Structures are given as structure tokens and as C-alpha cells.
Structure 1
């Protein structure tokens, strides 16, 4: 019996020992002794593997026993090694450059390069490879690193050396800015359902942050006709095997090679036009199946990309079974510079443990992303075991150094020392700059006092005045980024000799928000507030145009906002006492002979009569929006519904109730709006539109302030918005009946300017748009405009028409911060 017991123990021990992972590690070099960075290492016949780091070092955990490992990198001959592991082992590998031969191929000026036949076959089979497999799951490890290569000593008056020390840079202002790792599990179902669950996350220098790495962001598929590189380019890029690729690329066969018994074609991509949104580099295509074996492509500034000078994309595929190949790794390398700063970095994603038959259902993809609070709680022991790509010495130092800095940055002593410096009152900033903004970082409290100059205004109702604001906010939850906010305002006009004051606040709850506003103020008759204080002051003082029309309001407002699934709702209740105001000043710096100030009554500009009698109003309002999407992402901050491919529908109801709290109003307004932004039209750019319509079902007792107002504009400068008009009067076409307005704008994303050599470098986008309004008083009003946009600045020229007759034209300029 004892011998049987011993045998059982030995058997259990043997099974346990054989099931334990054994570490295999080493370095991968080429025949010249140079390291091969990010070479792939995986077990033959599986999708389990890893990648070397930037210094050619790799590590892989395997069970004890016999294994066949594959070592490969783009441009090198595949290396296979048979191993029998029983203990930790070091295995260094030398990769030989792959030899691609042009056997029996003669290319002359009158014959087509043989690469074209390969590419044409790849284009013909593109859709088949795009739709295989029907579904899959996989594990993904992503690592991102961004480094500062150089920086000026000072920038915008700030000492970069001091900022660099806080960020962990060296004395030369160089070092790692961002280092992060994450693990995710992804699920995919044809044609476009993708779900990602983040398993772990680590960010150097922060114990509370979550990695920016997303498998969905780094995923790239050259079987698609066009590839969107959001943020890097205004235009999508054409795949080398797109349906229309032959119009954009030339191809040259550099040779063929045999790998695992299959022929690989090495093809060079040559843009037909340098400014087109195309890739350069090499693509490797398998003979017969015509699928992508690997790709080593890059984009330069010639393609008008933003932020970076060069972006290199490397992708490798491995066979999951005899019919399906899937990506084993994707790597983005980039360099760039801006305003004296030079940076570089990379992101790499490793895909492993593919399952092509996971029995996924469409309903499982309602939650497209899941990141829980526990994701960033994994300790260094976990990462030491889980990390597939070994850290370089520089990365190890960065983690260690910034862990100390992170603890220091969260200490009260350190935060108080920062506040002591930044909280010093600077009179010049308080007078004419950004104001005075003291804070207590340890308590997460922030104060803001506006600058005095920015608070000064002039209008003909109050004369010169001061509209001064101060606010307080406190972060009550760092993970959900929720803030308690309070603000106060005082307003005084020296000509009207009236003082006003108000107080407002916002309290975030678990899944909702409560806001209030109480006090007295001078308010724009148009509740869209389309005329900014500074713009009206300039027009009044220098051009004798008092565009802004005002009234006095004593008010108490409450609002409550709460989502119900993907439907966003808000409920408002307000009481106000409204009083008409009249001009009290006619001062102007430039007194123009042919122009005079108008009255404060926009409907009777030549007569200074009250627009409406004093009245009280109690109103209720309700708004609900639905984006026709049930897909959502779960973050530690909560659930957020994703934009859908359909427009967002908004429904509004406003009710003025007579008799409550002395209210004089009695009306009902029902309206709806339909809007959609960034409708992608490929190389032709993207469009946005907004459609609105409404009707007063009842207007028994209504005043001008309760009318439906529109976002008009009568100045050279304007603020862009999808439902803005460029030439419409602010007040004359407000309505108490019914209305319909529509707006559409298209951004051609450089489709035309990219073809002009001198304009190409400016990275301009062409803008064209159309606005329309119909009310009983204005049957058919329309605007057409066109212009150019650079970053957030745009210059437009347009014309407006009423019932087919031109009524206005001119330029409009916008700077949108």
C-alpha cells in the first residue's frame, strides 16, 4: 500500500513538474552581429508566441518537453529550431537575410512587370481573405513607448528643464514620455463586430491611470480598400491591394523565395503621384493563395500626414490552419517634431491563442469595450510572469524611477510645494492675462478668478461695464473624473447704474447630474447667445453697430440630466421675471456720419420703445436624444454609448404654464432635430448635417423671449457650429409659429488643394456648405458658402438669398479653440 502511495505521489509530482512553464530566452541577431529588433518567435503549428524587444532580446515560457520554434522577421529567412526543454535555457539565434531571386524573368520597357500579375490576383481574392474567418477570439498584448529626443530650454515662457524633471526626463530634456503595457481579449464576428476586454494595464509613472492602448486602435487590415488613420491624416489611405490600387500604385517584383514550402513574392510599392494617400515600402504575397504574408510599409510627410514626419507599419501573418492566416504582430514606428520638440516611439501588438470557432453571437457585441477598476491593480510579480516582450534596460529604469516619482507626486508635501509656487498672485495675469487660478492639488480643489480686462464690456444698454466671474470645483471621484462645480458672477453697468449677481452649481450623482442657477442678470433676447461680449463691444465702439439686444431677468433655474440606456434625457424647470431695457449710452470711439446706434428693440430699430411688458414666466422643458445605437463601452467612470452610423435624433418639448408663481405665459412648443457628424465619403472627405423642425401647438400667451430663435450672425467673425447661419439676422426672423431649418457642410479634406504643389504643404481643407430656413415670415431663406480651413481656423465666402433674391454676401472668419 505504501509503495502505491509513493508511486501516486511521484506520478502527481511528475505531472505537476511537466505542466510547469520553463523559460526560454535569448537574443536574435543577424549575420553581421547586429540585433534584429521585434523579431517574431512562436511555436510551430500553434499561434502561441512572442516578439523580441527593441534590442533583440526575447523570452518565451513553454512546458517541459519537445518543441519546434519558428524565428522570423521581415526581410530575413525563417529559422526553425527543435528543442527538448527540461530547465531554463538560453538560445541565441542568428537570422540570415532572405534571398529573393528573379528566376527566368525578363523585364523590359515594353513588358509589364510580373508584380502586376501577383497584385491582380491578390485584388481578385481580396474579398475572400477579408471575410475569413467568420469569427474568432484572440489574446492581445500591446506595448507603447514615446520618447522625447530633444526640446528647447524654454517654451512659451516656461522652463522645460523644470517640467522635464517632474516628468522623469534627464538633464538634456530627453527620455521616455510614455511607457505602457496592456493585455486584452478580443472577439470578432463578421462583418464588423469587434469586442475588447482589457485584462491588465500598466502605465509608467502612474498608479491610477489606465493604458491608452486599445487593440481596436492598433488593428489594421490591408484587405480593406481604404484605411482610416484617425488623427494622422484627413484622408483615408489606399490599400496596396484595393480594388482601385492600380490607379494609385506602380509595382516592381524584387524576387521570390521559398518559406515552409510556399513561394513568397517580394513586391515594391511605388506611388504614381507623391501627394496621393498611399503607402511606400514592401509587401509580401504568397503564390497561389495570393494572401498577404507580411508587409513593411511607411508613410512620409509627402502624403500630408499630421503630427509625425514618418510612420512605419509592419505586419506579420501566421497560419492558424491550412486555410486561414491571421496577424501575429502589428508594429507602428513613428518620428516627428513640432516647435523645437523632437519625438519618436512605437506601438506593438502581439496576437496569440486564436480560436476560429468560439460560437459567438451578435448579441454578445453590445458591450464593445470593457475596462474595470481592477485592471490596473496587477503588481510587478504578475507583470514579470505575464509580460511576453522583455523590458529593455532603459524601460526597466523608467518603471523604477517613475514609480518613485509617482509616489512623490501623490504626497501632500510635494503637492503643497507645487501649489506654493503656482499659487503666487501675478497682478499682470489677473489684469490682462489668464486670471488667477490657485489650487489645492492634495484636496483636489481648484479656484478660478477671471482676468479684469476680459471682464470689461461696452453696450448701449449699460454703457461700459464689468462682468466678472469666479468659480470653484472639487474632484469628488478621480476614477470617474466627477467634479462638484460652483460659480458666481457680478455685473455692473456704469451708465445704467445697475448691479446684478448670480450663483450657479453642478452636482454629479452616480448616474445623473443636477444643476441650478439663481440670481439677476442682463440677458440676450436670443437664447442662443450667438453674439460674444467682446465682438459686440468692438462693433459698438468702433463701427457704431450695437448688435446685441438685451433684457433684464431675475431667475431661478433647475435642471436634471440622466441617461436611460442609450437615451440621454434632461428635464428643466425655471421661473423668471423679465423686463425690457432701453439704451442708456451712445458713446463710440469712431463716430461714423452715415451710421447711428439702433434702439434696444430689434423689431423697431428706430424707436426706443419696450419690446414687451414686464412679465413672469414659469416653464418646463424636456429633451431626449437617441443615437440609434445600443453599443457601449464600460470604463471605470461608467457606461458610455458609442456613436452609431445613424443620425442622432433629438425630441424637445417646452411648456409655459400660466398661473404658477404668478406666471403670465401659456404656450406649448414641440420640436425635433436630426444630426450626424463626420459622415465619411472616402477620398472625397466627410460631411455633417443638422435638420430641425418645430411648431407651437399653443401660443395663447407668449413673449418675444419665448420665441424660437436661430443662430444668426452679422459679423465678420463667427463661431462654427453645425446649425449656424452665416448672414441671418439675430432677432428679426424669430418665430412663435412653425419653422424648418436645415444645414449641411462638407469637408473635402484636401481633395483639391493636395493636387496643387504650393498649397499642398499648407494642409488645407476645402469647405462647402448650405443653410436653409423657412418660417411664416421668411418663406425660403438660404445660404451657400465655400472656403478653406487650416487646423481650427477657417475663411469662408458666401451669399444669402430670400425667396430667390440675393440679400447679403461676404467673408466670414472663424478661429475655433
Structure 2
């Protein structure tokens, strides 16, 4: 019994030893001052006021001096003694009275702000690298709120069920994302970073929340904010080496704080449509460091996606020499397509240690790690540690959405819940299979699985060998024990002109490591078999849609195909080191497929129909034969980094290139195989973001045949050509090259795809044009086999047209310049177009 009394006494002592300081911040007119910085003097601990200017944080009994700051207002301090009760403080901040100190004005009339900025620029590199390493605690609260959601977007009605699920009111107003996180951040020069997320909470979800970037530093020449999609070039710091050539500075005056003079300077871009900030930055006198700033980015700053982004920071001393960020606020506005949204991302940094002692190998490939119980903390825990009080609507959002989530989770496997989920899907409509396709989930306590049927009309095609083609495809997916996932994809293909029916099935079995601290060793087994139609080039450079249009409208049947009865199997393994290994084996009974129709929309175009084989390279159709081929791929991306969630790891990339080596052997006499060859290929590919100077992308390779005793056209080295105005896959195609004329069995060849995306580097200098935010892109696509077979393309174009399109002017030289062609190509490129381009070119190969 004594043990329980002792435990109770300890718990009471703990409870009563932590009291709360809370309050509100006003200006002299009685207006609220949201997101003010609250700090315990002499420490980096404290809080941030919320949007209602309320603040609260826990302290142990004692006497403290509390410092309240807000950009543009005089700092105020209040002493408070904490005993056994919470204490309320009200801060009323006066507008900052700036003193125009006596300054030396240069003969050219230069504003004194420029000399202050020059001194700060000199100090910038030193402050950026002032400490070799540090750690700190981080609290983050992220909130995104809709202020209006239209009933329709692009003419498509937003279902009422979706609005209800987001818990919006009748006007489409409400919080759509709310999360909090607590983490320990560690940084070591020059580029080591690690964040351990101790606790995380997302309203109405068991997910993991966190905002990025963790730090925004004006001590860097170029500042990256959130993802590169906001601006891949980044934004030029007002303290960058050449800031004076980009910004105008105006000295507003100075004020005193804790015996230190602070200069207040207005920052204004010299030119619109440059990646520049505007606002106020406060610089300390003599040591020329950042005290605080309130800066804004807009569309005239080349800001993408969102309309405005405001960044506010307060810096405080960690010791006599080192200052660090105390509070950071990012506030954004978004208003497009009738959707009006705002977001607030608040970070509070405490407990800095600028002389940490890291264990050996502390910094590893995992740069962000979520603890096992990261999302298991109760509401009482958050109420006890939160340095930014929740607003009323946030309290309501947590209360309602968390309660609903728990209720749904508790009933997730009940018969009522299963019936509800089935009902929500609606009934299967037979007509859906013609256009939208069918995608369903079969809910069950023990045997939940997904299945679907692809759209028939969207997958119809036309070619001269089969005529009108009907493709019927489907899928079945189910999670199996031991963290495995089975996928079965049956396919049926029927050509109405040649009356050939082809059917085959692809089966994959994937496994993933689910133990938290184990190394990643993900595996995939694949098996395919049946009878199918394949392009001679297994990378399928021509999409069925492009070929259908070009054939019907112009008589250009560029896609060349053959039938094959096949069996294929493969195994792939991925390692945490960034190494990927795969081996594939393929048996094909290859059957020629000749033209059976010459139908075109305009009869005159039917004369342009060409044979259904690579006539540019071979004189006649091939005779039926068999092939057994084994292929091995090894790829390696050094420096791969990861985010580690409680039961999985996610790769987030590396600054280093991806190296890929392929070796393929055609085996003779096995299962009647008629082929006999050995070929290899080595590629290096990467993206290098040079920030203000643009983004360089490249894919270069070498290869050749070690043995070419018996090689049929299907196994040649093909260079992905293009004869369509619609651009083929960038960095993997030659936009003005023939599809097969340069296919080869040579002992050696080389190729390179290089393109530089200027991302506004030059186009933002053109008045009027810079408002369009269209960006220049230029580069080359080249391959070389010998003096009689080579190809060089030079191109220049514009991308980000309507955020989607890219248009290039291309000139090509073949065979030493003996043949020259020029053309315009249209493709997908830019903010949204890059994503569309990836989707269009994903999984278009035959796989084996």
C-alpha cells in the first residue's frame, strides 16, 4: 500500500510543479497582435501566440522575466513569480518608435541602409557557419483552412459526401488539415541533418504530420521554401552576396532592445518578376546579425502554386556569441478556380545546444525518423506541452474529427461498417466499363481485396495489322501475410481485321520489410505468360493513341508489331544503400504480323501505309523463330536518404547520379532458341539544381554487342525515335529520328540526352513576357555509332505554358550533317506538365 501512496505523491508533485503562464498580446489601440514571440529572458524557451494573439506555456515554480516581441512594435518585458497557480499576463505593445540616428550621407545621396546591408553581407557566411553543430527541440503546428469551396470545378460537381467528409459548412468553409508535431533536430556542418519526431498528431487521422522546411535561413545566398515547385530556382536572400543589385533598401530608423541598437530596413525588389522578397528586416548594430524579419513573396516574386507567402522570424541569443531562430511563421493565401484557402505553419524552437556530442554514425541514411509510438500520445499530453494555444475552431476540429475517427476505427471490422463501406461505393454499373472503368474494393473482416476493369473505349486502338483493336484489362490486388502484396493483371486483346485473339496474364508478388530498425530489402517476383502483341522495340516508343491518330488521319503507321507466345519471369531486389538488382528470363515464340487493312479516313493517305515491320532496317518480314533471353540490371544511386516511419522507410532521393548497368544474353539451342548474342549498356542519369542558374538534367550512356552471331531485329539496340509533333519522352528519345533506321548490332555506340531548364533565368528580364512565367529550355539529344550512322539534335523551347505545355524548336543533323531537318514539337513540361509527362510515360514498356 505504501508503494501506491508514494507513487501518488510523486504524481501529485509532478502535476503541481508545472504551472502555466498564459495571456494575450494587444497593440496600443486594443487590436490583437497574432503570432507574437514570447520568450523567457536569458533562454531560448517560450512560445508563440496564436492567430487570436493568445499564448500559453508551462514552467516550474520560480521567478521569470517574460519578453514579448512583434515585428514593428516595441519589445516589452514583464517579471512574474510562479508559485502554485497559473499566471496571466497581458502585453500591450506600442508601435516601434524608430530613431533616425545621425548618419553620414554619401555624396551620391545613398541611403544609409546600404552600408548596413553591406556589413551584414560580409558577416553572412560567418553566421551561416558560426557553429559546427547544434541541436534543438522543435514544435510545429500546421493548419490549412478553406474559406470557400465552389460547388463545381471545371464543370464537375463536388459530391456532397466529399464536402461532408471534409466537414465544411454550407459555404464551403472549414479546416481541411490540422497537425502538430514535436521533434528533436540535429545539424552538423557542412550538410548533416537528422530529425527525430517524438510525437505527431493529425486531426481525424492516425497519419504523421510535419511541415518543411525545418529552417528558413537568410544567411544562405538562395533560400529554398517548401518544395521546389514553389520556385525551383529558390529566392534570393536580402543578404545574398549580390543583394544590392537585386534589392532597394531604405533605412527606417533604429530602436534599442536590451542595450543593443537594432536597425530597421525596408526591402524592395528592384524589378518585378524576379525571385525576390519584400518587407522589413531588422539588423543589429556593430555585429550586423539578423534580429527579426517580416518578408513576403507574391506572384511578382515568381511564386508558383500559391498567391502570397509571408515569412516572419524572431532570432534570440543562445549565448553571448550565437543567435538562433526562436519563432517562425509561414502564412500563405491560395485563390484559384474559386477555391479560397489560407494556411499557417508555426514553428517554435527551444533548448538549443550549440556544442553537442554526437555518437559515432549518428548521422546515417535516415534523416527523418518517427518514433514507434509517434501518433499514440493522448490529448492531455498535447495540452501539457503545446507552446501555441489552439484556437476555438482548432479545438472543435480536433474534438469532432478525432471522435469520428475513433468511432469509425472501432467499428472498422464490424458487419455494419463493412455494409456501410460497400454501400458508399454504390452499385456496379455495366456502362462504367465503357468509359470510366470499374474500380472496387471487396470489404471483409478477413479477406479484403481490390479489383477492377479498365475502360474499354479509352483503351481501343487502330493499326494496320489488326484493324480496330479491343483491349480488355483488369486487376486483382490483395495483401497477404508477412507484408506481401499480390497483383494479378489479366489482359485480352482482339483485332477485328485479322480476327486474332491474344490473352496473357501478369502476376507480381511484392514484399516489404516491416520491422522498424531493419535495413530495407524489398523484393518483387514477377511472372507473365500467354500470347500478346509487342512492338519490335520493347521500350514501346510509340503510344497506341499517337499511332492510331497518325495512321487514320495521315496513313503513317509508325508502330511496328509482332505476335509472340511467351513465358517470362523476373526477380528484383532493392537495398537501403541505393542498390537495385534485377534478373529476368524470357522465352518468346516470335510470329510475324502482317498488314490486313489499309483503311484511312482520307483514301489518298492509304498509299503511305508501310509494311508492319522495321522496313527501314530489314528488307523483308522475318520468319517465325524462338528466342530465350536472360537480362540482368544493376543500378546504384549513392547517398540515398530516407524518411523512416514506424513500420516502413521511404526513399527521398540523393544528390548523386543513378548508375545503371545492363547485360543481356541471347541463349542458343535452349528450348529451340535461335538467337546467339551478348550486349551491354551503361547509363548515368541525374538532375542538378543550380538554383538561380537553372536545372540541368542529363542521361548519358554507352553500350554495344560483345557477340552478335545471331541477332534478330527485336534484339537490336534501338534508339527511341519520334515522327510525331507530340514530343516523345524527354531524356530518353530522339525527337526527329527514325524509329528503326539507326538500330544496330555494332560493337560500340554512345548517346546523350542533355537539357537545361532556365526556370526564368532569362525570360524574366523581358518586360511583359515575364508576367507569363514561361521558361526557356535548351539542350541536345545525340547518339553516335560510326561516321555513317549518327544523329545530333539541338533544341530550344519554352515550357510552363499554362503550367502544362512545352514547345520546342528542333534542328537535327544526321550522318555527319549530310541530312538536316527542323520541326516544332509540343509536349508536357512545367509546373504541372512535368507530372503529366511522368504519368504518360510510366509503365509503357512491355516489361519483358
Give TM-score, length-normalised by structure 2: 0.90
Deviation, 1:452, is 2.0
Coordinate RMSD, CA, aligned: 2.5
What is the rounded CA distance, in whole Å, between the counterparts of 2:781 and 2:11 in structure 1?
78
CA contact (8 A) 2:181 2:197 kept: yes
> Which residue does 1:29 correspond to in 2?
26
Deviation, 1:15, is 12
- Shifted more, 489-498 versus 591-600: the winner is 591-600
1:735–1:235 Cα change, 3 Å:
same
What is the rounded CA distance, in whole Å, between the counterparts of 1:701 and 1:14 in structure 2?
82
Aligned match of 1:232 in 230, 233, 256? 230
CA contact (8 A) 1:311 1:334 kept: yes
> Which residue does 1:471 correspond to in 2?
475
Matches for 1:382-531 after TM superposition, within 5 Å:
382-407=381-406, 410=409, 411=411, 413=416, 416-417=419-420, 419-426=422-429, 429-431=432-434, 433-440=435-442, 445-474=449-478, 483-510=485-512, 511-531=522-542
CA contact (8 A) 1:575 1:617 kept: yes
What is the rounded CA distance, in whole Å, between the counterparts of 1:173 and 1:631 in structure 2?
39
> Which residue does 1:347 correspond to in 2?
345
Three-state SS of the structure 2 residue aligned to 1:377 is coil
> Which residue does 1:804 correspond to in 2?
817
Are 1:286 and 2:284 counterparts? Answer: yes
Deviation, 1:436, is 2.3
> Which residue does 2:843 correspond to in 1?
none
CA contact (8 A) 1:40 1:71 kept: yes
What is the rounded CA distance, in whole Å, between the counterparts of 2:543 and 2:606 in structure 1?
25
Matches for 1:185-204 after TM superposition, within 5 Å:
185-204=184-203
What is the rounded CA distance, in whole Å, between the counterparts of 1:261 and 1:415 in structure 2?
67
> Which residue does 1:85 correspond to in 2?
82
What is the rounded CA distance, in whole Å, between the counterparts of 2:442 and 2:804 in structure 1?
33
> Which residue does 1:172 correspond to in 2?
171
> Which residue does 1:769 correspond to in 2?
779
Deviation, 1:59, is 1.2
1:76–1:249 Cα change, 3 Å:
same
CA contact (8 A) 2:293 2:313 kept: yes
Deviation, 1:455, is 2.4
- Shifted more, 457-466 versus 390-399: the winner is 457-466
Are 1:369 and 2:368 counterparts? Answer: yes
1:447–1:719 Cα change, 3 Å:
farther
Matches for 1:89-168 after TM superposition, within 5 Å:
89-105=87-103, 110-155=108-153, 156-168=155-167
Three-state SS of the structure 2 residue aligned to 1:632 is strand
Deviation, 1:683, is 2.0
Deviation, 1:630, is 5.1
Deviation, 1:326, is 0.4
CA contact (8 A) 1:307 1:337 kept: no
What is the rounded CA distance, in whole Å, between the counterparts of 1:391 and 1:75 in structure 2?
25
What is the rounded CA distance, in whole Å, between the counterparts of 1:42 and 1:476 in structure 2?
52
Deviation, 1:639, is 3.2
What is the rounded CA distance, in whole Å, between the counterparts of 2:399 and 2:287 in structure 1?
48
For residues 145-186 of structure 1, the C-alpha deviation after alignment (integer angstroms, 9 at most, x for no partner) is 000011212234223543211111112110101000011111
Three-state SS of the structure 2 residue aligned to 1:455 is coil
Matches for 1:348-747 after TM superposition, within 5 Å:
348-360=346-358, 363-366=361-364, 367-407=366-406, 410=409, 411=411, 413=416, 416-417=419-420, 419-426=422-429, 429-431=432-434, 433-440=435-442, 445-474=449-478, 483-510=485-512, 511-564=522-575, 565-592=577-604, 595-603=607-615, 609-611=620-622, 613-629=623-639, 631-636=641-646, 638-677=648-687, 679-737=688-746, 738-747=748-757
1:724–1:387 Cα change, 3 Å:
same
Deviation, 1:538, is 1.2
Deviation, 1:267, is 0.2
What is the rounded CA distance, in whole Å, between the counterparts of 1:472 and 1:492 in structure 2?
22
CA contact (8 A) 1:629 1:642 kept: no
> Which residue does 1:271 correspond to in 2?
269
For residues 188-242 of structure 1, the C-alpha deviation after alignment (integer angstroms, 9 at most, x for no partner) is 11122111111111001112x111424xx24111010111232212432110011
Three-state SS of the structure 1 residue aligned to 2:402 is helix
Three-state SS of the structure 2 residue aligned to 1:120 is helix
1:304–1:361 Cα change, 3 Å:
same
- Shifted more, 405-414 versus 746-755: the winner is 405-414
Three-state SS of the structure 2 residue aligned to 1:231 is helix
- Shifted more, 56-65 versus 640-649: the winner is 640-649
Are 1:756 and 2:766 counterparts? Answer: yes
For residues 385-417 of structure 1, the C-alpha deviation after alignment (integer angstroms, 9 at most, x for no partner) is 222211111100000111133245554545644
Deviation, 1:13, is 8.1
1:693–1:752 Cα change, 3 Å:
same
CA contact (8 A) 2:332 2:343 kept: yes
CA contact (8 A) 2:57 2:386 kept: no
What is the rounded CA distance, in whole Å, between the counterparts of 1:29 and 1:91 in structure 2?
11
Three-state SS of the structure 1 residue aligned to 2:252 is strand
Deviation, 1:303, is 1.7
CA contact (8 A) 2:199 2:371 kept: no
Deviation, 1:280, is 0.3
Are 1:221 and 2:220 counterparts? Answer: no
CA contact (8 A) 1:627 1:644 kept: yes
Deviation, 1:716, is 0.9
Deviation, 1:428, is 5.4
Deviation, 1:323, is 0.3
What is the rounded CA distance, in whole Å, between the counterparts of 1:406 and 1:710 in structure 2?
53
Aligned residues: 799
1:605–1:663 Cα change, 3 Å:
closer
CA contact (8 A) 1:599 1:605 kept: no
For residues 101-124 of structure 1, the C-alpha deviation after alignment (integer angstroms, 9 at most, x for no partner) is 113358699411111111010011
For residues 44-73 of structure 1, the C-alpha deviation after alignment (integer angstroms, 9 at most, x for no partner) is 111121111111111121111222222222
1:709–1:85 Cα change, 3 Å:
same
Deviation, 1:583, is 1.3
1:477–1:110 Cα change, 3 Å:
farther
1:727–1:280 Cα change, 3 Å:
same
Deviation, 1:592, is 2.3
- Shifted more, 728-737 versus 758-767: the winner is 758-767
- Shifted more, 747-756 versus 459-468: the winner is 747-756
1:368–1:24 Cα change, 3 Å:
same
Deviation, 1:319, is 0.1
Deviation, 1:434, is 2.2
Deviation, 1:134, is 1.2
Three-state SS of the structure 1 residue aligned to 2:230 is coil
CA contact (8 A) 1:575 1:619 kept: yes
1:797–1:14 Cα change, 3 Å:
closer
